[in-house]
Amino acid sequence: MKVLVTGGLGFIGSETVIALYKNGHEPVIVDNLSNSKIEVLDNIEKVSGKRPTFYKVDCCDYEGFKKVFEKEGKMDAVIHFAGLKAVGESTKKPVEYYTNNLLSSLVLVRLMKEFGMKNIIFSSSATVYGVPERVPLVETDPVGHATNPYGETKIMIERILQDAAKADSSLNVCLLRYFNPIGADPSGLLGEDPNGIPNNIMPYISQVAAGKLKTLHVFGNDYPTPDGTGVRDYIHVVDLAEGHVAALKKLATNPGVVIYNLGTGKGTSVFELIAAFEKATGIKIPYVIDPRRPGDVAENYANADKAFEELGWKAKLNVEDACRDSYRFQTTTASK
């Protein structure tokens, strides 16, 4: 398939481009470089041996984005990663998050309709479940209110896509609800390299290990969890990327709307993640305890049985693998 990948130079997008190449697909990347770097394009080529077509375009820019559709002709599917994604930042900049994430998705859906594209995979999130009534979470659990504006944008975009599919029975929509992606490409050339201070825990730990930051900040040790720190389902980005390839195969069967959790099915606390990193790398991680962050929940992990049963997909790599790969990327490729 020829696959449009919005946000394709980002952390998950770039690894998914590698997985698409490995599985014989042809990716076309659109990215505005707001939280990614053009050097990623070179590194995709080094890892895959192929250089994807790339357009520096903001998905909110209808006219600019339309030119991509006009130039590329028939594309079989889109994987929609583009969007602002920091939970904490979204509580401080809600209007920016709603504007960017909703508008970019609406422009994309409009262009899909204009150009007859019938398949979309949406990069959703476990945040759509809000504060879980129970764990592990299953796809039929209620989606009501997220605990932060970032999560609310994911809920709204899911609804927009589901309504679009109701109005057009030929539209196929796959909502992939990710849990917590970590790790990096085993080559050390692709990974999570945020601009400025990282919002996510793994690049933060890696930067502390590499000496770029002094101390890890652990947000809250008074949660109702075994060790008091937040519990999350950390999934290796390589496994996550393969989940998108499996979802593409599913869309080829014209399933309408399908929803899958992509996670390991196992919760790991922040302290357990630190211990896994120290074991994988032999480096001690100094940390301090800070107050809880607004928008965070105590515990969140997946039941991913449906993805295994219907897509034949399950996570193969573990947290230590992810720690090792993250540190390799941090010390070889990430911004010095």
**Secondary structure in 3-state letters for the chain:** CEEEEECCCCHHHHHHHHHHHHCCCEEEEEECCCCCCCHHHHHHHHHHCCCCEEEECCCCCHHHHHHHHHHHCCCCEEEECCCCCCHHHHHHCHHHHHHHHHHHHHHHHHHHHHHCCCEEEEEEEHHHHCCCCCCCECCCCCCCCCCCHHHHHHHHHHHHHHHHHHHCCCCEEEEEEECEEECCCCCCCCCCCCCCCCCCHHHHHHHHHCCCCCCEEEECCCCCCCCCCCEECEEEHHHHHHHHHHHHHHHCCCCCEEEEEECCCCCEEHHHHHHHHHHHHCCCCCEEEECCCCCCCCEECECCHHHHHHHCCCCCCCHHHHHHHHHHHHHHCCCC
Catalytic-labelled residue, pool 21, 55, 97, 150: 150
150 catalytic, yes or no?
yes
Active site amino acids? 150
